[in-house]
Structure 1
Amino acid sequence: MNFQDNLIENEMGVERVVKTSKRVAVLGIKTEQQSGQPAFYVPEYLARAGVEVVPVPVYYPEVKQILGKPVYRKLVDIPGEIDLVNVFRRPQDIDQHLEDIIAKKPKAVWFQSGIRNDAAAEKLAQAGIQVVQDRCLMVEHRRYAILG
Protein backbone atom coordinates (compact mmCIF):
# COMPACT_ATOMS: atom_id res chain seq x y z
CA MET A 1 0.00 0.00 0.00
CA ASN A 2 1.19 3.46 -0.91
CA PHE A 3 1.58 5.82 2.07
CA GLN A 4 -0.38 8.45 0.10
CA ASP A 5 -3.45 6.27 0.62
CA ASN A 6 -3.25 7.32 4.28
CA LEU A 7 -3.60 11.01 3.37
CA ILE A 8 -7.38 11.27 3.51
CA GLU A 9 -8.68 13.89 1.09
CA ASN A 10 -12.00 12.44 -0.07
CA GLU A 11 -15.42 12.41 1.56
CA MET A 12 -15.60 8.63 1.77
CA GLY A 13 -12.34 8.55 3.70
CA VAL A 14 -13.43 11.36 6.04
CA GLU A 15 -16.73 9.61 6.69
CA ARG A 16 -14.93 6.33 7.49
CA VAL A 17 -12.58 8.06 9.96
CA VAL A 18 -15.52 9.81 11.68
CA LYS A 19 -17.62 6.66 11.95
CA THR A 20 -14.82 4.44 13.25
CA SER A 21 -13.49 6.89 15.85
CA LYS A 22 -15.03 5.87 19.17
CA ARG A 23 -12.06 6.83 21.37
CA VAL A 24 -10.46 10.18 20.58
CA ALA A 25 -7.40 11.71 22.25
CA VAL A 26 -7.54 15.51 22.00
CA LEU A 27 -4.02 16.93 21.79
CA GLY A 28 -3.99 20.59 22.81
CA ILE A 29 -7.42 20.48 24.48
CA LYS A 30 -8.33 23.59 26.46
CA THR A 31 -10.02 23.62 29.86
CA GLU A 32 -13.54 24.59 30.92
CA GLN A 33 -12.18 28.13 31.54
CA GLN A 34 -11.64 28.43 27.75
CA SER A 35 -15.08 27.04 26.89
CA GLY A 36 -15.57 29.55 24.06
CA GLN A 37 -12.62 28.15 22.12
CA PRO A 38 -12.86 25.31 19.59
CA ALA A 39 -10.18 23.33 21.48
CA PHE A 40 -12.74 23.00 24.28
CA TYR A 41 -16.17 23.03 22.67
CA VAL A 42 -15.32 20.55 19.87
CA PRO A 43 -14.25 17.80 22.32
CA GLU A 44 -17.18 18.75 24.58
CA TYR A 45 -19.53 18.18 21.64
CA LEU A 46 -17.87 14.82 20.88
CA ALA A 47 -18.22 13.71 24.50
CA ARG A 48 -21.92 14.63 24.45
CA ALA A 49 -22.33 12.70 21.20
CA GLY A 50 -21.06 9.54 22.89
CA VAL A 51 -17.40 9.58 21.82
CA GLU A 52 -14.89 8.70 24.53
CA VAL A 53 -12.67 11.79 24.78
CA VAL A 54 -9.19 11.50 26.31
CA PRO A 55 -7.77 14.94 27.22
CA VAL A 56 -4.11 15.62 26.38
CA PRO A 57 -3.56 19.31 27.17
CA VAL A 58 -0.28 20.97 26.25
CA TYR A 59 -0.58 23.73 28.84
CA TYR A 60 -2.35 23.85 32.25
CA PRO A 61 0.09 21.66 34.24
CA GLU A 62 -2.09 21.98 37.37
CA VAL A 63 -5.21 20.58 35.66
CA LYS A 64 -5.97 16.94 36.54
CA GLN A 65 -9.33 16.56 34.76
CA ILE A 66 -11.10 18.04 31.73
CA LEU A 67 -14.69 17.09 30.86
CA GLY A 68 -14.62 14.86 33.95
CA LYS A 69 -11.86 12.70 32.44
CA PRO A 70 -8.30 12.26 33.70
CA VAL A 71 -5.70 14.28 31.83
CA TYR A 72 -2.65 12.69 30.17
CA ARG A 73 0.49 14.62 29.32
CA LYS A 74 1.64 12.33 26.50
CA LEU A 75 -0.27 10.11 24.13
CA VAL A 76 1.96 7.13 24.95
CA ASP A 77 0.82 7.36 28.59
CA ILE A 78 -2.82 6.67 27.65
CA PRO A 79 -3.76 3.06 28.41
CA GLY A 80 -5.40 1.11 25.59
CA GLU A 81 -6.02 1.82 21.94
CA ILE A 82 -6.79 5.23 20.48
CA ASP A 83 -8.83 5.46 17.28
CA LEU A 84 -8.07 9.09 16.56
CA VAL A 85 -5.84 11.91 17.76
CA ASN A 86 -7.63 15.24 17.25
CA VAL A 87 -4.93 17.92 17.04
CA PHE A 88 -5.42 21.50 18.22
CA ARG A 89 -1.88 22.81 17.69
CA ARG A 90 -0.47 25.43 15.34
CA PRO A 91 1.03 23.79 12.23
CA GLN A 92 4.59 24.67 13.30
CA ASP A 93 4.00 23.09 16.73
CA ILE A 94 2.93 19.67 15.40
CA ASP A 95 6.44 18.39 14.71
CA GLN A 96 7.32 18.23 18.42
CA HIS A 97 4.44 15.74 18.90
CA LEU A 98 5.21 13.43 15.96
CA GLU A 99 7.34 10.95 17.91
CA ASP A 100 4.65 10.65 20.61
CA ILE A 101 1.85 10.22 18.03
CA ILE A 102 3.76 7.60 16.03
CA ALA A 103 4.70 5.72 19.23
CA LYS A 104 1.01 5.59 20.25
CA LYS A 105 -0.03 4.31 16.80
CA PRO A 106 -3.60 5.67 16.59
CA LYS A 107 -5.58 4.58 13.53
CA ALA A 108 -5.87 8.20 12.41
CA VAL A 109 -4.82 11.78 13.19
CA TRP A 110 -7.06 14.78 12.55
CA PHE A 111 -5.69 18.31 12.14
CA GLN A 112 -8.51 20.76 12.94
CA SER A 113 -9.73 23.52 10.60
CA GLY A 114 -6.96 25.87 9.57
CA ILE A 115 -4.24 23.37 10.54
CA ARG A 116 -2.15 21.95 7.76
CA ASN A 117 1.37 20.52 7.97
CA ASP A 118 2.07 18.43 4.88
CA ALA A 119 5.50 17.25 6.05
CA ALA A 120 4.08 16.02 9.38
CA ALA A 121 1.10 14.43 7.60
CA GLU A 122 3.47 12.58 5.29
CA LYS A 123 5.55 11.26 8.22
CA LEU A 124 2.40 10.00 9.94
CA ALA A 125 1.10 8.45 6.71
CA GLN A 126 4.43 6.66 6.18
CA ALA A 127 4.06 5.26 9.73
CA GLY A 128 0.74 3.71 8.66
CA ILE A 129 -1.50 6.32 10.28
CA GLN A 130 -4.35 7.94 8.35
CA VAL A 131 -4.35 11.76 8.32
CA VAL A 132 -7.14 14.27 7.77
CA GLN A 133 -6.02 17.92 7.54
CA ASP A 134 -7.77 21.26 7.83
CA ARG A 135 -11.26 20.07 8.72
CA CYS A 136 -13.46 20.50 11.76
CA LEU A 137 -14.18 17.19 13.44
CA MET A 138 -17.38 18.57 14.98
CA VAL A 139 -18.75 19.62 11.58
CA GLU A 140 -17.86 16.28 9.99
CA HIS A 141 -19.17 14.32 12.98
CA ARG A 142 -22.51 16.11 12.72
CA ARG A 143 -22.58 15.30 9.01
CA TYR A 144 -21.70 11.60 9.25
CA ALA A 145 -22.26 10.28 12.72
CA ILE A 146 -25.05 7.89 13.40
CA LEU A 147 -26.35 9.19 16.67
CA GLY A 148 -28.00 6.90 19.14
Structure 2
Amino acid sequence: MADNEIDRMLDARVWAFVGLSGDRTREVYRQASLMQQRGKKIVPVHPDGGEVLGEKVYASLADVPDAIDVVGVYRRSEFAGAVVDEAVAAGAKGVWLPLNVIDDSAARRARDAGLDVVMDHCPAVEWAARR
Protein backbone atom coordinates (compact mmCIF):
# COMPACT_ATOMS: atom_id res chain seq x y z
CA MET A 1 0.00 0.00 0.00
CA ALA A 2 1.30 3.39 -0.99
CA ASP A 3 0.70 6.73 0.68
CA ASN A 4 -0.80 8.02 -2.56
CA GLU A 5 -3.54 5.36 -2.31
CA ILE A 6 -4.47 6.63 1.14
CA ASP A 7 -4.43 10.23 -0.10
CA ARG A 8 -6.62 9.41 -3.12
CA MET A 9 -9.18 7.67 -0.95
CA LEU A 10 -9.25 10.40 1.67
CA ASP A 11 -9.85 12.88 -1.16
CA ALA A 12 -12.69 10.76 -2.60
CA ARG A 13 -16.20 12.19 -2.41
CA VAL A 14 -18.50 9.14 -1.99
CA TRP A 15 -17.86 6.53 0.69
CA ALA A 16 -20.04 3.43 1.05
CA PHE A 17 -19.78 1.89 4.51
CA VAL A 18 -20.63 -1.82 4.50
CA GLY A 19 -21.89 -2.83 7.93
CA LEU A 20 -23.19 0.64 8.86
CA SER A 21 -26.32 0.48 10.97
CA GLY A 22 -27.84 2.86 13.49
CA ASP A 23 -25.80 1.36 16.32
CA ARG A 24 -23.82 4.37 17.58
CA THR A 25 -21.50 2.15 19.63
CA ARG A 26 -19.99 0.54 16.53
CA GLU A 27 -16.73 1.80 15.06
CA VAL A 28 -18.26 1.96 11.58
CA TYR A 29 -20.83 4.47 12.85
CA ARG A 30 -18.09 6.69 14.28
CA GLN A 31 -16.01 6.51 11.10
CA ALA A 32 -18.96 7.22 8.81
CA SER A 33 -20.03 10.14 10.99
CA LEU A 34 -16.53 11.60 10.91
CA MET A 35 -16.29 11.29 7.13
CA GLN A 36 -19.72 12.89 6.77
CA GLN A 37 -18.62 15.79 8.99
CA ARG A 38 -15.62 16.21 6.71
CA GLY A 39 -17.88 16.75 3.72
CA LYS A 40 -18.02 13.23 2.32
CA LYS A 41 -21.22 11.71 0.96
CA ILE A 42 -21.78 8.51 2.90
CA VAL A 43 -23.79 5.53 1.71
CA PRO A 44 -24.80 3.07 4.44
CA VAL A 45 -24.92 -0.58 3.35
CA HIS A 46 -26.62 -3.00 5.72
CA PRO A 47 -29.30 -5.67 5.20
CA ASP A 48 -31.55 -4.13 7.87
CA GLY A 49 -32.30 -1.11 5.68
CA GLY A 50 -33.78 2.08 7.08
CA GLU A 51 -31.91 5.33 7.48
CA VAL A 52 -28.59 6.12 9.18
CA LEU A 53 -27.00 9.53 9.63
CA GLY A 54 -29.76 10.99 7.46
CA GLU A 55 -28.97 8.68 4.53
CA LYS A 56 -30.94 5.80 3.04
CA VAL A 57 -29.50 2.39 3.86
CA TYR A 58 -29.03 -0.04 0.95
CA ALA A 59 -29.11 -3.79 1.44
CA SER A 60 -26.05 -4.40 -0.73
CA LEU A 61 -23.51 -2.53 -2.83
CA ALA A 62 -25.31 -3.77 -5.95
CA ASP A 63 -28.41 -1.85 -4.81
CA VAL A 64 -26.62 1.51 -4.62
CA PRO A 65 -27.79 3.52 -7.65
CA ASP A 66 -24.95 6.07 -7.67
CA ALA A 67 -21.22 5.81 -8.28
CA ILE A 68 -19.10 4.81 -5.29
CA ASP A 69 -15.56 6.03 -4.84
CA VAL A 70 -14.51 4.09 -1.72
CA VAL A 71 -16.03 1.08 0.01
CA GLY A 72 -15.28 0.84 3.72
CA VAL A 73 -15.37 -2.86 4.56
CA TYR A 74 -16.58 -2.99 8.16
CA ARG A 75 -17.02 -6.74 8.37
CA ARG A 76 -14.83 -9.37 10.00
CA SER A 77 -11.87 -10.57 7.96
CA GLU A 78 -13.55 -13.84 7.03
CA PHE A 79 -16.34 -11.88 5.29
CA ALA A 80 -14.18 -9.13 3.79
CA GLY A 81 -13.35 -10.97 0.56
CA ALA A 82 -16.97 -11.19 -0.53
CA VAL A 83 -17.46 -7.47 0.15
CA VAL A 84 -14.31 -6.62 -1.81
CA ASP A 85 -15.60 -8.69 -4.74
CA GLU A 86 -18.92 -6.79 -4.55
CA ALA A 87 -17.00 -3.50 -4.54
CA VAL A 88 -15.16 -4.52 -7.70
CA ALA A 89 -18.45 -5.53 -9.36
CA ALA A 90 -20.06 -2.23 -8.29
CA GLY A 91 -17.30 -0.23 -9.99
CA ALA A 92 -15.80 1.29 -6.85
CA LYS A 93 -12.43 3.00 -7.20
CA GLY A 94 -11.06 1.78 -3.90
CA VAL A 95 -11.62 -0.41 -0.86
CA TRP A 96 -10.65 0.44 2.69
CA LEU A 97 -10.32 -2.42 5.17
CA PRO A 98 -10.03 -0.89 8.66
CA LEU A 99 -7.89 -1.95 11.59
CA ASN A 100 -7.75 -5.71 12.12
CA VAL A 101 -9.65 -6.48 8.90
CA ILE A 102 -7.09 -8.33 6.79
CA ASP A 103 -7.58 -10.37 3.63
CA ASP A 104 -4.48 -10.40 1.43
CA SER A 105 -6.16 -12.45 -1.29
CA ALA A 106 -9.08 -10.01 -1.54
CA ALA A 107 -6.67 -7.07 -1.60
CA ARG A 108 -4.78 -8.70 -4.47
CA ARG A 109 -8.02 -9.26 -6.42
CA ALA A 110 -9.01 -5.64 -5.91
CA ARG A 111 -5.61 -4.35 -7.06
CA ASP A 112 -5.70 -6.68 -10.06
CA ALA A 113 -9.06 -5.09 -10.95
CA GLY A 114 -7.50 -1.62 -10.75
CA LEU A 115 -8.80 -0.51 -7.35
CA ASP A 116 -6.81 1.29 -4.69
CA VAL A 117 -6.55 -0.75 -1.49
CA VAL A 118 -5.89 0.29 2.09
CA MET A 119 -5.86 -2.49 4.66
CA ASP A 120 -5.48 -2.55 8.44
CA HIS A 121 -5.59 1.26 8.78
CA CYS A 122 -8.07 3.62 10.41
CA PRO A 123 -9.50 6.41 8.21
CA ALA A 124 -9.72 8.82 11.16
CA VAL A 125 -6.08 8.25 12.13
CA GLU A 126 -4.91 8.67 8.54
CA TRP A 127 -7.03 11.81 8.12
CA ALA A 128 -5.51 13.35 11.26
CA ALA A 129 -2.00 12.49 10.12
CA ARG A 130 -2.46 14.02 6.65
CA ARG A 131 -4.81 16.98 7.05
State the Cα deviation string for residues 80-138 of structure 1 (Å, max 9, x = none).
21110011011111123244212101110000111110001111111111111000012
Q: Which position in structure 1 is the counterpart of 2:58?
A: 72
Going from structure 1 to structure 2, the CA distance change for 1:95 and 1:40 (only over 3 Å counts) comes to: same
Larger radius of gyration: 1
Paired with 1:48 and 1:70, the residues of 2 have a C-alpha distance of 17
Q: Which has the higher contact order (CA 8 A, sep 6+)?
A: 1
Aligned to 2:3: 11
Report the equivalent of 2:14. Answer: 23
Report if the CA contact (8 A) 2:73-2:84 is conserved: no
Check whether the contact 1:18–1:144 (CA below 8 A) recurs between aligned residues: no
CA drift of 1:69 comes to: 0.3
Shift of 1:30: 3.0
Alignment gaps of 5+ in structure 2: none
Structure 2 CA distance, aligned partners of 1:99 and 1:13?
19
| 1:82 and 2:56 aligned | no
Query: Counterparts of 1:137 and 1:94 in 2: how far apart (Å)?
Result: 17
Runs (4+) of structure 1 exceeding 6 A deviation are none
Q: TM-score of the superposition, structure 1-length normalised?
A: 0.81
Pair 1:136 & 2:125 matched: no
Q: Do the aligned partners of residues 71 and 128 (structure 1) sit closer, same or farther apart at CA in structure 2, a change above 3 Å counting? A: same
Determine which of 43, 49, 58 is the counterpart of 1:54.
43
Question: What's the Cα RMSD here?
Answer: 1.5
Q: Partner of 1:121 in structure 2? A: 107
Contact 2:85 2:110 in 1 (8 A): no
Q: How many residues in Structure 1 have an aligned counterpart in Structure 2?
A: 131
2: CA distance between counterparts of 1:115 and 1:30?
A: 18
Q: What letter is aligned with 2:7?
A: E
Q: Distance in 2 between matches of 1:69 and 1:82?
A: 14
Q: What percentage of residue pairs aligned between the two structures are identical?
A: 27
Instruction: Mark the runs of 5 or more structure 1 residues left unpaired by the alignment.
Output: 1-8
Q: Which range is displaced more, 107-116 or 74-83?
A: 74-83
What one-letter code is carried by the residue in structure 1 that aligns with 2:5? G
**Distance in 1 between residues matched to 2:32 and 2:80, nearest whole Å:** 19
